[in-house]
Structure 1
Amino acid sequence: MRAAVSHKFGHDHKLGTQPWSEHPKIAGKSIRNLSLSVTVSQYMVSLCQRKVWSGEAITSAQAIDEVTMKHLWDFVWATPCKEYGPTSRKRKAENSAEWAGFVIHSMLLLLYLVSMICLLHYDEALQITWGDITFQGFRPADFCVRLEVSFRKTHQYRGIAPFYVYADEQHPWMCLVQTFAVWWMLAREKCENLDGFVFKKIGIDSISVNPTDGMTSDAFLECFCNNLLDIGVDPHPYGTHSFRRGECQFLYKVCRWYFRNICDWEGWEQGPLPCLW
């Protein structure tokens, strides 16, 4: 909340990012950002301490690691590919494990991988449309996915370089190309024309045929929690930064990328972007 207020004062009201202080010449007048005052900073530190003293666990978003992604990947391919059809509330309550079928699980896995590999917040990934996706290359060795992201929190005025992602045979559970191909085929069966949002509003095992019916953030969070419970993982510690943190750790620990290359891939540094894998 403080970050949102600081952004509002700094960008919309043109008060900048310098700490608040009294005007050196005009009595009773203040300058700079009100939310960044020393008083507010001291209050935030005290608030955190009081929460700890009262027994509340203070946790930041835990990273989604490679092991968790592998379990999610295995769970998708173990999900029966069947049509559920209309389901009553009573059946949903009695069979909580059957909250979604293979189609929905495949779409969710793609959403996880897009968020991780492109280092996106999940709400940024939800805005991706089929017009942002291009499949390139005819031979398996040259085949890749070109992904354009129209909006990011760190690039609110566009200027976002496209991502080029190739297949990863060593880590199939982290392979965005394969999952995109699977979801493309499933989406073609459900929708006559592929346009609009890639990640659609869902049912038990169906997606909306309306191009503008995109999945909401609340719906994704509910599905994400259910998916983690399916594989026996407590969803409480995970949040909006879990995928970004998980991919940064994966690129550094597993793929042995340098920090500069990770920053280039994310767009945190100026310069040409590397190709993933």
Structure 2
Amino acid sequence: MTGLAKTKAKAGEVSMSARALELRDMHLLYNHCMRPGQTDGELRWGITTYLFAWLLLLRFEEATRLQFESINLIPGTRDHFEVRLKTRKTSQTGMHTWVLHANDSDPKICPIRALIRLARVYGDRVGFAGPLFLKVNKYGAVLQEPITTGIMGRILAEDLQNIGNLAWALYGTHSFRRGGCQHRIKNKGWTVDMVAAWGGWTQVEAITMFRYFYSPNDNHEHMADYDRNDMKKPWAF
């Protein structure tokens, strides 16, 4: 299957599992995971694994490789923490480091709140070493097994269907990375070079990075309003 995928890519066929998860999707996933009656195991999804992948522009396999040792809580600091990933697909040597800050204006995507919720789910049942994201059954029991890419993909597909996303089959391993890129550009006002540095892209990978900013599979329902938005600007002639 891997060989077939590579052959299709070389032939110019674009993977259909490449739709971006937008800010509103992250809010809907949060609401779904935080609805009344959820168990600890169910609450963990969408609050930690989803959010960290989206904020850090990670692929599924990179998110599942995060370790407790990847989190650096700085003594005396409560408004931010560091996340370190030793190796990435785009950089097999060295370490990539991010600094995530509290987000009081949008608590649903606040990484510090997400980390606190994860700690509450684990309680004293883990030694806070090894894989950061562990399997948690529906009864809230923490299993000493890391979450796999396959499990993450399956749960995401189920959650997207549960929130009424009819295009759930278009989402895949790069959806968080793609959506996180677009969020930084559209909602945060970042420049392309800022996103490139945050995501760990090199100049050689500029074309690859552009594919994360735009895909025919992404939502373009509001395209009719694109030009209309310019009418709101106080242009001077």
TM over 0.5: yes
2:115 aligns with 180
| Matching residue of 1:111 | 49
Q: 5 Å matches for 1:158-177?
A: 159-177=94-112
Compared with structure 1, are the counterparts of its residues 209 and 239 closer, same or farther at alpha carbon in structure 2 (3 Å cutoff)?
A: closer
- The question of whether the paired residues in 2 share the 8 Å contact of 1:168 and 1:175 is answered with yes
Matched residue, 2:138: 204
Residues 121 and 243, structure 1, Cα contact 8 Å, conserved in 2: yes
Distance in 2 (CA, whole Å) between partners of 1:152 and 1:137 is 27
Is the 8 Å Cα contact of residues 50 and 176 (structure 2) preserved in structure 1? yes
Question: 1:256: how far off?
Answer: 0.3
The answer for the alignment partner of 2:157 in structure 1 is: 225
Question: Does 1:131 find its partner at 2:40?
Answer: no
Task: Output the CA distance in 1 between the equivalents of 2:109 and 2:176.
Answer: 12
Do the aligned residues in 1 keep the contact of 2:68 with 2:130 (CA within 8 Å)? yes
Do the aligned residues in 1 keep the contact of 2:137 with 2:143 (CA within 8 Å)?
no
Q: State the match for 1:68 in structure 2.
A: 25
Q: Does 1:250 find its partner at 2:183?
A: yes
Change (3 A) 1:112 1:261: same
Q: Distance in 1 between matches of 2:34 and 2:140?
A: 17
Q: Distance in 1 between matches of 2:20 and 2:126?
A: 37
State the 1:236 CA deviation. 0.3
Alpha-carbon offset, residue 226 of structure 1? 1.3
SS state of the match for residue 168, structure 1? coil
Q: How does 1:1-277 map to 2 (within 5 A)?
A: 1=2, 44=11, 59-81=16-38, 101-136=39-74, 138=76, 140=78, 143-157=79-93, 159-189=94-124, 191-210=125-144, 213-234=145-166, 235-269=168-202
Distance verdict in 2 for CA 1:132–1:229, change over 3 Å: same
Deviations 1:167-216 (A, max 9, x none): 11222222112101111122124x14222211112322334442xx1112
DSSP 3-state at the match of 1:70:
helix
Conservation of the 8 A alpha-carbon contact between 1:201 and 1:214: yes
Unaligned 5+ segments in structure 1 are 6-34, 49-56, 82-100, 271-277
Larger Rg: 1
Residue ranges of structure 2 left out of the alignment (5+ in a row) = 204-237
Kept after mapping to 1: 8 A contact 2:52/2:63: yes
Deviation, 1:62, is: 0.4
Separation in 1, partners of 2:84, 2:176: 18
CA distance in 1, matches of 2:91, 2:57: 13
Of structures 1 and 2, the one with the larger relative CO (CA 8 A, separation 6+) is 2
Query: d(CA) in 2 for partners of 1:259 and 1:137?
Result: 32
Identity, % of aligned positions: 22
Q: CA deviation at 1:229?
A: 1.6
**8 Å Cα contact 2:40-2:140 kept in structure 1:** no
Name the SS for the 1:136 alignment partner. Answer: coil
Whichever residue aligns with residue 96 of structure 2, its letter is A
Structure 1 ranges of 4+ moved more than 6 A:
none
